[in-house]
Amino acid sequence: MRTLKPVDVVIVGGGWTGLLMAKELSADSARSIVVLERGPARKTADYIDDMDELDYAIRLRMMQDIRHETVTVRHTVQDRALPVRQYGSFLPGTGTGGGGEHWSGISYRYLPQSFKIASHLRERYGAARLPEDHALQDWPVTFDELEPFYWQAEQLLGLSGKAGNLRGKRQPGGNIFEGPRSHEYPTPPMKRPYLAELFHQAATKLGYHPHPLPAATNSQSYRNPDGILRSGCVYCGYCERYGCMIGAKAQPTNTLLPVLNRRRNFTLRNGCWVRRVVVESGKARGVTYIDVSGEEVFQPAEMVMLASWSINNTRLLLLSKIGEPYNPATGKGQIGRNLTHQVSLPAAMAFFPQPLNRFIGAGSAGVAIADFDADFLDHSDLGFQGGGIIYTVCYGFRPMANFGVVPTSVKSTWGSDWKKAALHHYDRTGRISFYGEHHSYRSHYMDLDPTYKDKYGDPLIRMTIDWTDNERRMGAHMSVKAAEIARAMGATEITPHPGLRRYDATRYQSTHIQGGVIMGDSPENSAINSYHQLWQTPNLFVLGASAWPQNPSVNPTLTALALTHRAAHAIRTRSLL
Amino acid sequence: MRRRHFLSLSAESVGGLLIYSLQRTPLRAQSQSGTIRVPLKFFTEKQALLLAAAAARIFPSDDTGPGANEAGVVLYIDRQLASAYGRDRFRYTAEPFLDGPPELGHQGPLTPRQIYSEGLAQLEGIDTLSPEDADAKLRSIERTPFFSLLRQHTIEGMFCDPMHGGNIDKIGWQLIGFPGPRMSYFSEVDSYYGKPFRPRPESLSEILGRPVTPSEDEEPA
Ligand SMILES: Cc1cc2nc3c(=O)[nH]c(=O)nc-3n(C[C@H](O)[C@H](O)[C@H](O)COP(=O)(O)OP(=O)(O)OC[C@H]3O[C@@H](n4cnc5c(N)ncnc54)[C@H](O)[C@@H]3O)c2cc1C
Ligand code: SF4
């Protein structure tokens, strides 16, 4: 195997966390940085051709090629895991920018109490109320410690929204349940598409606290602290699963890459598939990868960073035999534990008498209420813990995936009667959705599959995951609430979600898979510290949501960026090594 | 080399519409009588007729407007199956193929091409049946993976960008008031509350003013 010239830092994965870390560390021009990205190069100009539903939203042109690598799934350790043969519940990104190119951009902060969830629930309800096999754990970092880094990440993205809590003062129109912010959002809220307007009015009437979804699809043009100027969103609706042709949606290629491309100490290599991290005597020495020509090479580095997204980070550690694989029977081992997948439901389908023009929108143009998040609802008689946000997002509904949904009063799914109903309801159907907490459990984890392999013959990740009664009851409760909102919005027929049963790998849920390499306050309860640094191998960092001990209700990326900022800051100022 | 097969469309049903030939050159069906012969890439003519008959029962042409026949759903499916998609380009196909719970999705070894070939064999004769009998035949296979694929592909062929062979002349988009890709809705997003905004649909190559290559033409066959 050929050995390349050593560098200071090698980063595996050129998505949100990898390129942000590269931008922060390369600010110091003495440090050489190489990012290895297995997918193709991407740039804004590519996206002018992408407004095609079949190639992008259905054939998933921007996602990881499933022929080459997938995951296997089983519900319990007794089951035999089978491969996910066609993408379903999540969509891993590939290419420069990773999942950050075709994300929706909904960018909440986590709540202060989310960082202390285990102690909070124990204090409030007593240990006995927690599910028997839970693996909940406090984060090793608090909201207050993270706040300045949230603000940095929000400026990076130019986030649009409305503060609900400015330095402790409630702000009407914002999310009054959020933790205190030091600053108002960088840009004002997005416009409200019609369905969002109906939701806003109905939620207000019902006494809830509707607020605009915090949006990385910016409401107006914005220049960030790096000097990057991006234009405002035009609500084209080809957003979630697509790259933005005008750069209005913050993506790694339009916020980070322009800065990085000016730095001579930074190199991005596309088409490079990393297979192993090499560790010798407690120190990471570099990584081996198959380069774009098919040759396997060794890239030595002083510091190694995994930024390949939660599942891939976990897999690379397991394949490299770094750390102890988690064993659910004994509870021993840190790598692979606390796998969670955000609960995400179409809580109610609402059928309206009037047209909605629902092809108009953006990935994060919408309105939400947090009145049922965390502990803001009274759980005494509910039979579950936790909660989440009820929202509607007008992401731009396209016909191939959305045509044909009809109320339950229509009995057929094809033929004349169905066609007539489907034509009538096509632009009169709205979705009220729910994002909920997913607690961690001792029986939910990742390890290497004994049977199925990737294109290089390396074992796939095996996910052992299922819903428990906590998520099922939460989902059922929230569907009732969502249906009430739909009624207040003027829907004449409503189909509530039928209820969560088993974890379903075929239905798109969200690409918010967490855990595997979690952070904690000691090597006994975690794989990494709050700076994403492996306890046993301090020059190896594992970035992103693989670090989450459990899943707070809302989307993870803003927190992943804030924690990356914080780790970069510590590396630059405190020399963690 | 495969023998050339054609699908004959009645000029009456597609009169005046713009069909994209397989070479992606527009072919305008001007005459109001006679037939138009469109070359097929994957199906035999016989299979295409069975498929056309089935798709036309799933998405019929009736008093609510045109259906699968006018939109060219068969041409859409023919092209998809002829392309890498038909050979399972978008699936993880490593063995062993084992049965599992429905939550783990379709686990079978058959490619879309094989699913269609087997499925169409079960529909033998559907193109000569009365609408009622054709529906009964389809109901008898309603729970098969073939039928769900066929239903899904019929919807796709109704509403895809015309460059993929279906939605001829944006007839499906016109039917539902979908404008197709559009550069901006900045002023419409909050000025059409409760009112339909229905501009004349345009395809991707029309708004860009140049041809766009769909993925089925990119992959080496
Ligand atoms: C459709 C969609 C909508 C989304 N919407 C939202 C949203 O609204 N809000 C939100 O917060 N999040 C959203 N997300 C999730 C968001 O995209 C991710 O959380 C974010 O991109 C994760 O950043 P990351 O750096 O961890 O991984 P990524 O950005 O995915 O980057 C990882 C990169 O690593 C590369 N890689 C993987 N393995 C290897 C290897 N072995 N060698 C070399 N390179 C490798 C991959 O190709 C990829 O480019 C969405 C995702 C999708 C797909
Ligand atoms: S909806 Fe807005 S942010 Fe999204 S792709 Fe279109 S212009 Fe860009």
Ligand 1, residue A17: give the atom nearest the CA.
Answer: 25
- What value, to the nearest 5°, has the Cα angle with vertex B102 and ends A133 and A512? 55
Could you give the C-alpha distances from A564 to A22, A169, A328, B192, in angstroms and in order?
Answer: 10, 28, 29, 42
Tell whether A60 is within 8 A of chain B (Cβ): yes
Q: Report the helix count and the strand count for chain A, using DSSP H and E.
A: 11, 24
Asked whether the predicted pLDDT for residue A421 surpasses 60, the reply is yes
Q: What is the DSSP string of A488-508?
A: HTT-SEEEE-----S--TTS-
DSSP structure class, residue A175: -
- Rounded CA separation A570/A530 (Å): 10
- Rounded CA separation B179/A367 (Å): 24
- Rounded CA separation A208/A204 (Å): 6
Report CB contact under 8 Å: A359, B164.
no
| Alpha helix segments (H runs only) across B160-213 | 171-176, 204-208
Instruction: Spell out where A497-557 has E strands.
Output: 513-516, 540-542
Asked whether the predicted pLDDT for residue B150 surpasses 80, the reply is yes
Mean pLDDT of A488-492: 98
**pLDDT score recorded for residue B220:** 55
Q: Backbone phi, then psi, for A51, in 5-degree steps? A: -80, 60
- Rounded CA separation B80/A292 (Å): 29
Confirm or reject: Cβ of A363 under 6 Å from ligand 2.
yes
- What value, to the nearest 5°, has the Cα angle with vertex A127 and ends A125 and A131? 95
Ligand 1 pocket by Cβ (under 6 Å): A 12-18, 36-39, 91, 93-95, 98-100, 102-107, 240-241, 272-274, 307-309, 312, 364, 511, 544, 555-557, 560
**pLDDT score recorded for residue A129:** 79
Q: Which of A75, A96, A89, A394 is nearest to A252 (CA)?
A: A96
Cα A575–chain centre separation: 29
Query: Is residue A457, in this structure, part of any structural domain at all?
Result: no
Chain B: residue nearest A245 by CA?
A: B183
Q: Backbone phi, then psi, for A335, in 5-degree steps? A: -90, 120
Query: Is residue A395, in this structure, part of any structural domain at all?
Result: no
Report CB contact under 8 Å: B107, A426.
no
CB A462 within 8 A of CB A388: no
The total domain count for chain A is 1
Which amino acid, A244? C
Q: Backbone phi, then psi, for A480, in 5-degree steps? A: -65, -45
Report CB contact under 8 Å: A53, B161.
yes
Report CB contact under 8 Å: A82, B98.
yes
What residue has token string 């503060």?
A163
Torsion sign (Cα): A55, A59, A63, A69:
negative
Is B124 exposed, middle or buried (CB count within 10 Å of its CB: 0-12, 13-18, 19+)? exposed
CB A546 within 8 A of CB A99: no
Report CB contact under 8 Å: B102, A53.
no
Question: What SS3 class is residue A66?
Answer: coil
Q: Which of A363, A377, A154, A203 is nearest to A162 (CA)?
A: A154
Is residue A512 part of the annotated active site? The answer reads yes
Query: Which of the following is catalytic: A134, A444, A512, A532?
Result: A512
Query: Is residue A404, in this structure, part of any structural domain at all?
Result: no
Chain A: residue nearest B188 by CA?
A: A360
Asked whether the predicted pLDDT for residue A151 surpasses 60, the reply is yes
Tell whether B184 is within 8 A of chain A (Cβ): yes
User: Domain of A279?
Assistant: 1-73+83-159+250-339+512-577
Contacts of B90 in chain A (CB under 8 A): 59-60, 66-67, 86
Alpha carbon of A538 to ligand 1 centroid (Å): 24
Distant-in-sequence, close-in-space partners of B221: CB < 8 Å, separation ≥ 6 = B82, B83, B84
Alpha carbon of A363 to ligand 2 centroid (Å): 7
Do strands A283-290 and A2-3 pair parallel, antiparallel, or not at all (unpaired)? unpaired
- What value, to the nearest 5°, has the Cα angle with vertex B179 and ends A105 and B186? 50
CB A562 within 8 A of CB A530: no
Total residues belonging to chain B: 221
CB A252 within 8 A of CB A309: no
- Rounded CA separation B171/B162 (Å): 9
Per-residue buried b or exposed e for A461-494, using 16+ beta carbons within 10 Å of the residue's own CB: bbbbbbbbebbbbbbbbbbebbbbbbebbebebb
DSSP structure class, residue B111: -
Contacts of A218 in chain B (CB under 8 A): none
- pLDDT tier for residue B28 given thresholds of 50, 70 and 90: low
Contacts of A502 in chain B (CB under 8 A): 101, 103
- pLDDT tier for residue B49 given thresholds of 50, 70 and 90: very high
**pLDDT score recorded for residue A432:** 98
Question: What SS3 class is residue B71?
Answer: helix
Query: Is residue A545, in this structure, part of any structural domain at all?
Result: yes
Tell whether A428 is within 8 A of chain B (Cβ): no
- pLDDT tier for residue A130 given thresholds of 50, 70 and 90: confident
Chain A: residue nearest B174 by CA?
A: A423
Alpha carbon of A120 to ligand 1 centroid (Å): 30
- Rounded CA separation A563/A517 (Å): 14
Q: Domain containing A550 — which CATH number?
A: 3.50.50.60
Q: Backbone phi, then psi, for A294, in 5-degree steps? A: 95, 0
**pLDDT score recorded for residue B22:** 41
Contacts of B181 in chain A (CB under 8 A): 51-52, 236, 238
Cα B49–chain centre separation: 14
CB A279 within 8 A of CB A288: no
Q: Which of A35, A99, A89, A88 is nearest to A64 (CA)?
A: A99
Interface test with B, best of A74, A85, A87, A194 (most B CBs within 10 A): A85
Contacts of B155 in chain A (CB under 8 A): 400, 403-404
Asked whether the predicted pLDDT for residue B125 surpasses 50, the reply is yes
- Rounded CA separation B215/B220 (Å): 10
**pLDDT score recorded for residue B8:** 73
Distant-in-sequence, close-in-space partners of A126: CB < 8 Å, separation ≥ 6 = none
Q: Across chain A, what does the average pLDDT equal?
A: 97
pLDDT over 90, % of chain A: 96
Mean pLDDT of B14-23: 48
CB B145 within 8 A of CB B50: no
Asked whether the predicted pLDDT for residue B194 surpasses 50, the reply is yes
The complex scores an ipTM of: 0.95
Direct distance between the N- and C-terminal alpha carbons of chain A, in angstroms, rounded to an integer: 28
Cα A329–chain centre separation: 29
Total residues belonging to chain A: 577
Asked whether the predicted pLDDT for residue A478 surpasses 80, the reply is yes
pLDDT over 90, % of chain B: 76
CB A467 within 8 A of CB A491: no
Between residues A391 and A127, the one the model is more confident about: A391
What residues are paired with A274 via a beta bridge?
A289
Alpha carbon of A240 to ligand 2 centroid (Å): 9
Query: Is residue A155, in this structure, part of any structural domain at all?
Result: yes
DSSP structure class, residue A327: B
**pLDDT score recorded for residue A494:** 98
Mean pLDDT of B49-69: 94
Do strands A296-306 and A388-393 pair parallel, antiparallel, or not at all (unpaired)? unpaired
- pLDDT one-digit tens code per residue, A216-254: 999 999 999 999 999 999 999 999 999 999 999 999 999
My answer on whether omega of the bond before B96 falls inside 30° of 0, hence cis, is yes
Provide the 10 A C-beta neighbour count for residue A278: 17
CB A513 within 8 A of CB A341: yes
Q: Across chain B, what does the average pLDDT equal?
A: 88
Query: Is residue A367, in this structure, part of any structural domain at all?
Result: no
Chain B: residue nearest A501 by CA?
A: B103
Tell whether A382 is within 8 A of chain B (Cβ): no
Q: Which of A402, A61, A354 is nearest to B158 (CA)?
A: A402
Asked whether the predicted pLDDT for residue B34 surpasses 90, the reply is no
- pLDDT one-digit tens code per residue, A424-457: 999 999 999 999 999 999 999 999 999 999 999 9
Tell whether B145 is within 8 A of chain A (Cβ): no
Return the structure tokens found at A176.
Answer: 């009054």
**pLDDT score recorded for residue B221:** 42
Query: Is residue A5, in this structure, part of any structural domain at all?
Result: yes
What residues are paired with A493 via a beta bridge?
A351
Of A51, A54, A505, the CB nearest to B164: A54
- Rounded CA separation A247/A403 (Å): 29
Return the structure tokens found at A194.
Answer: 């019609």
Of A70, A357, A416, the CB nearest to B92: A70
- Rounded CA separation A315/B210 (Å): 43
Tell whether B100 is within 8 A of chain A (Cβ): yes
The residue whose C-alpha atom lies closest to atom 4 belonging to ligand 2 is A239
- Rounded CA separation A99/A513 (Å): 12
What residues are paired with A340 via a beta bridge?
A514
**pLDDT score recorded for residue A190:** 98
Q: What is the DSSP string of B39-68?
A: EESSS-HHHHHHHHHHHHHHS--BTTB--H
Asked whether the predicted pLDDT for residue B12 surpasses 80, the reply is no
Distant-in-sequence, close-in-space partners of A353: CB < 8 Å, separation ≥ 6 = A428, A490, A492
Q: Report the helix count and the strand count for chain B, using DSSP H and E.
A: 10, 4
